[in-house]
Structure 1
Amino acid sequence: MADQSIPEARTPEATRGAPGGSGPLDSENTTPRQGVSRRRLLGTAGATGLVLGAAGGAAGYAAAPSAATPLTSLGDEEVMFHGKHQPGITTPMQACGHLVAFDLAAGAGRREAAALLRRWSETARRLMAGEPAGSRDTDVARDAGPSSLTATFGFGHSFFGRTGLDEHRPVALDPLPDFSSDHLDKNRSNGDLWVQIGADDALVAFHALRAIQQDAGSAARVRWQMNGFNRSPGATAHPMTARNLMGQVDGTRNPKPADADFDQRIFVPEKNDKNEQAWMANGSYAVVRRIRMLLDDWEKLSVKAQEDVIGRRKSDGAPLSGGSETTEMDLEKTDQAGNLIVPVNAHARITRPDQNGGAAMIRRPFSYHDGFDADGVPDAGLLFICWQADPLRGFVPVQRKLDRGDALSRFIRHEASGLFAVPGGAAEGEYVGQRLLEG
């Protein structure tokens, strides 16, 4: 849970339902879709659109609905499927999410994988446009608009051996190192294929999950699946950085698209060195970690003790050294006794990019809660998802440093892990991964 997080605020570049929206960040497609969609059938359901204003909180680059925005208008937001990058990376955090990994079936290879990605891409395109999934549509989302639905597809390390594409496996997809904090369940880790689904409506998200699973048919089977959630857009009086299940404002220092080096840090360049694969141009690497929060232990701490663990005020996310949430943390500031105000092992201190050789990544997580065990202990925490151009320069150095002395380590447990190569977006008429599977 590094001190970086994608904000829950909405951005006009990420949706087409809001006034002035023209598609996702970096999308080259601004042409309205042809045909009748569920969104158009809603008539005036979302006619008021969204009231957009300057975003507060962590990143400051997004706009968000005001508190008075009718929730029904959220269904009108549409994220474009086709574009330079896949959706679901720079798209603002959604209220509901599903993560699902698949393994190819015995005997399935490159041809079956290509057919599957073609089906998945078409289904994602239709559903993200607010259209039925196809002839087998379950009608679960019949009455809803697109609701900011996104579907993002990636390949795991094992995918390349199963499809005879070992020579095309990127070096950056080498397995993550072991960390001392790991208590990993191998059955809920990795996988040949990975899909991230997000939406601002739970039924829309489930509808997409079910369609993707049905499309897998006999070509692939579900390896693991996890469900997550975030605060719903418009639930607060003004745009705010999301809170996690520990009650902390979770993230302040995410890279912003306006940063000069944003693409360099997050996306694989179109012209890359000999260690990278051309088919990954404009793609990114997703690290996925299921992090259980030991909430019973955490909630025994006083607010002051919790703030010392994190290095930020619980009330507003401001650094303990003073100011507001966006104020630069003063790591050298001391109290009258000469003690550091931000403790040396505070989570926010350890995860700062300037404390990790400039390592940076977009964190775009979901919270989760999967009930209680026999002793009433909650199985709850964070579905951590981070995006970077190279995990060896993004996630790995930060996690190694956390491993060596993060005060938060006592209160969390890493229970599952995965690393996936997420290719660039599909152009009109193409499917995700086509350059790999047909190159």
Structure 2
Amino acid sequence: LQAKGHVVAFDLAPGAGRKEAVALLRRWSDTARRLMAGETAPHGDSGIALDAGPSSLTVTFGFGHSFFERTGLTARRPVALDPLPDFSSDRLDPQRSNGDLWVQIGSDDGLVAFHALRAVQKDAGEAARVRWQMNGFNRSPGATAAPMTARNLMGQVDGTGNPKPSDADFGKRIFVQGSGPGPAEHAWMAGGSYAVVRRIRMLLDDWDKRSTAQQEQVIGRTKADGAPLTGGTETTKPALDKLGPDGKPVIASNAHARISAPEQNGGAAMLRRPFSFHDGIAADGTPDAGLLFICWQADPLRGFVPVQRKLDRGDALSEFIRHESSGLYAVPPGPRPGEYVGQHLLEG
């Protein structure tokens, strides 16, 4: 997890189509390649990051559902990109949701991340306009004595159950496979992944009124080290069938850790790579803060959707969060040398 992040969605400008999209993605791909190598931007570099190096910079591009109408490519739009279903806990702002194109920028240096954001925005030129943009952060590398799972703004260890590259089925869960169901027109996504992006406001004043013990009951894990309430360490599998002296489950039936567990969702799994955010103090005096939730999966209908449906029906954490924006994006594999992002979609 990088220390600083920006996520931004663009809409193609009125009258812009596939030709303009191709030119834009060529520019963006060239700029990203240069900046990720620690070089200057190819067009009017601002000098913000001249002495900072790449600092683990990544620039990632995705296509929203509406991009395919704008470029005449609806036949090449994967079924997995169908709009997410409505959830009862959603309070979505349409102006801060979706978008034709999505860009995620991450770096361990704030100036490097901002520099990349400015370069991407300037490269958009007359072809695309910013629809929405959000900023996030994580713990800085080296801030703890040993590497550990990050915490969110509720103080909870967040990301314990993430799939790991060492898992035998990691590739199948996270990346679109090169062969399988679906028409040949969708083969451009082989090796890519689908990103779900949600701005989740945390009602921190309400959360902080709860005792640590009450917070742990909501989550189903200890706050100190993220271990399940049934014992062990952070990586110990929760004993969901364990009962307490009162005959009730130690991990409550509506605890977040129970409801989101893969075994409670038909094995559904996603790679969570979020950023925290804080956008100041709202008019009512509460912090406008929370989680820029970003998760990756080979198929959102088998990853994010079943888990969120389950959470939507009875997660104890729902009382303390509010989903305020949402987007789903098809992220193609990284381009080979001499190619640009999305070339196999736009020219295939």
TM-score interval, normalised by the smaller of the two chains: over 0.9
The one-character-per-residue Cα deviations of 1:20-65 (angstroms, maximum 9, x if unpaired) are xxxxxxxxxxxxxxxxxxxxxxxxxxxxxxxxxxxxxxxxxxxxxx
Within 2, Cα distance between the matches of 1:173 and 1:335? 43
Aligned length: 347
TM-score, normalised via structure 2 length: 0.99
Q: How does 1:372-387 map to 2 (within 5 A)?
A: 372-387=281-296
Within 1, Cα distance between the matches of 2:296 and 2:43? 34
Identity rate, percent:
76
CA drift of 1:301 comes to: 0.1
Within 1, Cα distance between the matches of 2:118 and 2:107? 14
Partner of 1:430: 339
> Does residue 1:232 correspond to 2:128, yes or no?
no
Partner of 2:205: 296
Q: 1:258 aligns with which of 149, 156, 166?
A: 166
Q: How does 1:1-400 map to 2 (within 5 A)?
A: 93-275=1-183, 277-400=186-309
Unaligned runs of 5+ in 1: 1-92
Write the letter of the residue equivalent to 2:21. A
Within 1, Cα distance between the matches of 2:130 and 2:283? 27
Within 1, Cα distance between the matches of 2:283 and 2:67? 37
8 Å contact kept, 1:287–1:385: yes
Unaligned runs of 5+ in 2: none
Ranges of 4+ aligned residues in structure 1 off by more than 4 Å: none
CA drift of 1:374 comes to: 1.9
CA drift of 1:275 comes to: 4.7
The one-character-per-residue Cα deviations of 1:105-128 (angstroms, maximum 9, x if unpaired) are 011000100110010000000000
User: Residue 157 of structure 1: SS of its match in structure 2?
Assistant: coil
Within 1, Cα distance between the matches of 2:62 and 2:150? 26
Within 2, Cα distance between the matches of 1:206 and 1:337? 53
Write the letter of the residue equivalent to 1:184. L
Within 1, Cα distance between the matches of 2:102 and 2:221? 34
Within 2, Cα distance between the matches of 1:373 and 1:244? 20
Provide the aligned C-alpha RMSD in A: 0.7
The one-character-per-residue Cα deviations of 1:291-336 (angstroms, maximum 9, x if unpaired) are 0000010000000000000000000000000011011100111121
The one-character-per-residue Cα deviations of 1:336-369 (angstroms, maximum 9, x if unpaired) are 1212111110000100101000000000000000
Name which of structure 1's ranges 325-334 and 298-307 shifts more when overlaid on structure 2. 325-334
Write the letter of the residue equivalent to 1:362. L
Within 1, Cα distance between the matches of 2:116 and 2:52? 12
8 Å contact kept, 1:150–1:197: yes
8 Å contact kept, 1:272–1:278: no
The one-character-per-residue Cα deviations of 1:43-90 (angstroms, maximum 9, x if unpaired) are xxxxxxxxxxxxxxxxxxxxxxxxxxxxxxxxxxxxxxxxxxxxxxxx
Within 2, Cα distance between the matches of 1:135 and 1:210? 11
Within 1, Cα distance between the matches of 2:154 and 2:43? 43
Within 2, Cα distance between the matches of 1:306 and 1:153? 37
8 Å contact kept, 1:171–1:275: no
Within 2, Cα distance between the matches of 1:340 and 1:409? 20
Write the letter of the residue equivalent to 2:140. S
The one-character-per-residue Cα deviations of 1:173-232 (angstroms, maximum 9, x if unpaired) are 000000000000000000000000000000000000000000000000000000000000
CA drift of 1:135 comes to: 3.7
CA drift of 1:274 comes to: 2.3
Partner of 1:3: none
Partner of 1:9: none
8 Å contact kept, 1:98–1:196: yes
Judged with a 3 Å threshold, the aligned counterparts in structure 2 of structure 1 residues 113 and 398 are, in CA distance, closer, same or farther, namely: same
